[in-house]
């Protein structure tokens, strides 16, 4: 039995003539904070899309806890304990922070379709239990005061936090974050680091993409560096930092890495 | 706004409850029409407003309910009340069957396909397929309402029948708003990819919205058949679907918005007879103006149905 391991083997994803991910393999172990880094357009987001079912890779395999999840739909993958956030924040903009987080309770809720028509005592209890879980996330992410605020009117940094809170409401085994620090100021980035450590302490494995080298060095246990869809290095942050191929790739694109 | 609604709802219900006793026959009929079309518009709101599915064929489900009642009463001698379960279930099943293969379509394609369904439906009625729909003349001479052996012939009985159906619809919509399926519909309307990525099988809830919306429209159809003791194809033409669609869009996906829309579309033309010929013209302009100035409708949907215990004192509330 493989325990909470994510193993990618020779995953390849093409868009027309472009090979966005090229025979990529890596392995995320239970309890790790695992980083994926690489220059703009390296294929990082595409890898995440292949893991979370938004794309189906043409070749290769994605094994999660020993099960092949390549080709499964996003909601089937969430059902198996993998939840993600997006590089370009995707919240339900007109809805309140609390409702956004409540969406993460969808798969935990025991309600069936007829509860949308006729209420039962069981439904009432289930609603209350899930809203209480939302309250826990609001507390954990220090968002309580914004519970009723429409999420679209919040500043960027808070929206990022809501998105992570929403993902955590699912009680995932593996949390996937696509550039969680993008657009955050220094103070917010520090808070984010703390949050990520706290999430890991809850027993959640974290897989993240990051542009910012300093942050990656600080937060990850292990990482894979990709460029043009191919792995160019892997190892601990110290090992990777010294790798000439990595230095080369990063020097070559240093100037265009802000967005 | 919330305070206003707290106050306005009881007033609305009380006024509606005593209304028929203050109206003459003609105005009672207008009031019944208002109630019936309000229910259809609300059922359309479930599909279009809550779930964001561009359905332009709601008159089909409305008509299917009306014809189910008419055929069962006329051909098989069922009492009107006894036809209700099937007048809900048949359109609901049809809604589910129709929605199954088309809900993945993008908004504009879905719109065209549902228009197509509506047109085919009316053609089927007119050509008397199966020999039970009565062709272009429809079916007439239905029994009046009767319940537990009492004959409820008066128009006032029909009014209360329609009123109960409206209350039932509002109750269902209230339950929906505070439930997992109801929220799932909101989420997928706002961002389908985000909804899928948080674990929602969006297809299931899209089909659910069609089934529920069709079932409620079907029930409204029963009331319609009762009011006129008759059904005929032209009442369920595609142009009616356009009206329900625009009412939800212009009114906004909210109960007050939809009721105002129905009032403007179906009651005002009765009050100002000369307005009747102008209504499409005026409504057309209202649509254009509303979409430019208030793209989310005159009385937009309010989210934020979250439990009180989550709202702290220092809240930056909505
Ligand atoms: N849906 C798509 N259709 C076509 N090409 C795509 C699509 N998505 C990504 N690509 C291309 O695939 C390559 C990898 O893109 P990807 O978004 O995975 O890069 P990334 O490493 O996440 O970059 P960034 O750091 O800018 O987020 C890019 O060349 C991109 O243009
Ligand atoms: Mg990316």
- Domains of chain A with bracketed CATH: 6-81+172-258 (3.40.50.300)
**A52 Rama class: left (phi>0) / alpha (psi -120 to 50) / beta:** alpha
Closest ligand 1 atom to the C-alpha of A49?
A: 18
Neighbouring C-beta atoms of residue A142, cutoff 10 Å: 13
Residue B97 lies in a domain: yes
Nearest-CA distance A253 → chain B (Å): 31
Residue B4 lies in a domain: no
Residue B203 lies in a domain: yes
Count: domains in chain B: 1
318 residues of chain B, pLDDT tens digit each: 556 667 888 888 888 888 888 888 888 999 999 999 999 999 999 999 999 999 999 999 999 999 999 999 998 989 999 999 999 999 999 999 999 998 888 788 899 999 999 999 999 999 988 788 888 888 988 888 877 767 777 888 899 999 999 999 999 999 999 999 999 999 999 999 999 999 999 999 999 999 999 999 999 999 999 999 999 999 999 999 998 998 888 888 888 889 988 988 888 777 777 666 776 777 777 778 877 877 777 777 766 578 888 887 555 544
Q: Is the dihedral of CA B35, B39, B40, B45 positive or negative?
A: positive
Q: Residues B111-132: pLDDT tens digits?
A: 999 999 999 999 999 998 878 8
Q: Which residue's C-alpha comes closest to atom 23 of ligand 1?
A: A41
Q: Which of residues 159-188 of A touch B (CB under 8 A)?
A: 166-167, 170
pTM, 2 dp: 0.91
Number of residues that make up chain A = 259
Q: Which ligand is nearest to the CA of A227?
A: 1
Structural domain range at position B86: 19-310
Neighbouring C-beta atoms of residue B124, cutoff 10 Å: 14
Residue B56 lies in a domain: yes
Partners of A59 in the beta sheet?
A: A12
Q: Which of residues 188-207 of A touch B (CB under 8 A)?
A: none
**CB of A78 closer than 8 Å to CB of A175:** no
Residue B32 lies in a domain: yes
Residue B10 lies in a domain: no
Give dist(CA B310, CA B312) in Å, integer: 6
Question: Which residues, including other chains, have CB under 8 Å from residue B200's CB and lie 6 or more apart?
Answer: A75, A103, A106, B184, B187, B188
User: At B96, which CATH number?
Assistant: 1.10.3470
What residues of chain B lie within 8 A of the CB of A78, using their CB? 197-199
What residues of chain A lie within 8 A of the CB of B172, using their CB? 117
Nearest residue in A to B183, CA atom? A103
- Per-residue exposure over B85-102, b if at least 16 CB sit within 10 Å of its own CB, e if not: ebbbbbbbebbbebbeeb
Residue B1 lies in a domain: no
Residue B52 lies in a domain: yes
Helix (H) or strand (E) holding A209: strand A205-209
Q: Which residue's C-alpha comes closest to atom 5 of ligand 1?
A: A15
Contact between chains at A75 and B186 (C-beta distance less than 8 A): no
Contact between chains at A128 and B179 (C-beta distance less than 8 A): no
Q: Which residue's C-alpha comes closest to atom 3 of ligand 1?
A: A15
Q: Which of residues 118-137 of A touch B (CB under 8 A)?
A: 118-119, 123, 126-128, 131, 134-135
Contact between chains at A170 and B194 (C-beta distance less than 8 A): no
**CB of A243 closer than 8 Å to CB of A235:** yes
Mutation target among B198, B303, B311 for the A interface, most CBs of A within 10 A: B198
Q: Which residue's C-alpha comes closest to atom 11 of ligand 1?
A: A20
């Amino acid at each position: 039995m493989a325990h909470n391991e994510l193993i990618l083997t020779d995953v390849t994803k093409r868009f027309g003539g472009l090979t966005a991910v090229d025979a990529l393999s890596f392995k995320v172990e239970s309890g790790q904070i695992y980083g994926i880094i690489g220059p703009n357009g390296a294929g990082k987001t595409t890898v995440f899309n292949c893991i979370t079912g938004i794309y189906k890779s043409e070749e290769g395999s994605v094994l999660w806890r020993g099960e092949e999840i390549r080709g499964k739909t996003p909601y089937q993958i969430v059902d198996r304990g993998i939840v993600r956030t997006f590089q370009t924040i995707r919240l339900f903009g007109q809805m309140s922070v609390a409702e956004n987080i409540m969406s993460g309770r969808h798969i935990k809720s025991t309600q069936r379709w007829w509860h949308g028509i006729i209420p039962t005592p069981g439904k009432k209890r289930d609603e209350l239990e899930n809203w209480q879980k939302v309250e826990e996330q609001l507390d954990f992410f220090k968002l309580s005061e914004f519970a009723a605020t429409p999420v679209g009117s919040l500043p960027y940094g808070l929206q990022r936090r809501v998105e992570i809170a929403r993902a955590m409401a699912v009680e995932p085994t593996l949390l996937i974050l696509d550039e969680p620090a993008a657009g955050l100021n220094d103070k917010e980035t520090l808070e984010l680091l703390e949050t990520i450590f706290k999430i890991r302490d809850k027993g959640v494995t974290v897989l993240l993409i990051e542009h910012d080298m300093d942050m990656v060095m600080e937060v990850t246990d292990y990482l894979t560096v990709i460029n043009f869809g191919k792995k160019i290095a892997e190892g601990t942050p110290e090992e990777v930092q010294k790798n000439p191929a990595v230095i080369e790739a990063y020097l070559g694109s240093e100037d265009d890495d802000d967005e | 706004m919330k305070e206003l609604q707290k106050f306005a709802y009881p007033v609305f219900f009380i006024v509606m409850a005593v209304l028929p006793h203050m109206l003459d026959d003609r105005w009672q009929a207008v009031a019944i029409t208002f109630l019936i079309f309000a229910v259809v518009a609300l059922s359309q709101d479930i599909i279009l407003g809550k779930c964001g599915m561009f359905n332009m064929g709601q008159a089909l489900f409305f008509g299917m309910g009306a014809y189910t009642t008419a055929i069962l009463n006329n051909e098989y001698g069922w009492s009107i009340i006894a036809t209700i379960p099937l007048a809900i279930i048949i359109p609901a099943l049809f809604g589910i069957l129709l929605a199954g293969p088309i809900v993945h379509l993008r908004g504009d394609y879905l719109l065209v396909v549902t228009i197509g369904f509506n047109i085919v439906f009316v053609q089927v009625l007119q050509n008397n397929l199966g020999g039970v729909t009565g062709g272009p003349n429809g079916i007439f001479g239905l029994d009046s309402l009767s319940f537990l052996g009492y004959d409820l012939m008066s128009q006032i009985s029909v009014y209360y029948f329609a009123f109960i159906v409206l209350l039932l619809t509002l109750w269902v919509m209230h339950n929906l708003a505070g439930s997992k399926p109801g929220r799932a519909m909101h989420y997928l309307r706002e961002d389908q990819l985000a909804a899928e990525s948080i674990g929602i099988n969006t297809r299931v809830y899209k089909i659910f919205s069609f089934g529920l919306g069709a079932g409620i429209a079907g029930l409204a159809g029963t009331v319609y058949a009762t009011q006129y003791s008759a059904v005929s194809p032209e009442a369920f033409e595609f142009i009616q679907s356009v009206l329900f669609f625009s009412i939800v869009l212009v009114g906004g996906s909210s109960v007050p918005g939809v009721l105002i829309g129905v009032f403007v579309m179906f009651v005002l033309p009765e009050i100002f007879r000369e307005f009747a010929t102008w209504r499409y013209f005026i409504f057309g302009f209202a649509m254009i103006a509303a979409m430019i100035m208030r793209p989310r409708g005159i009385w937009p949907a309010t989210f934020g149905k979250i439990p009180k215990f989550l709202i702290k004192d220092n809240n930056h509330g909505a």
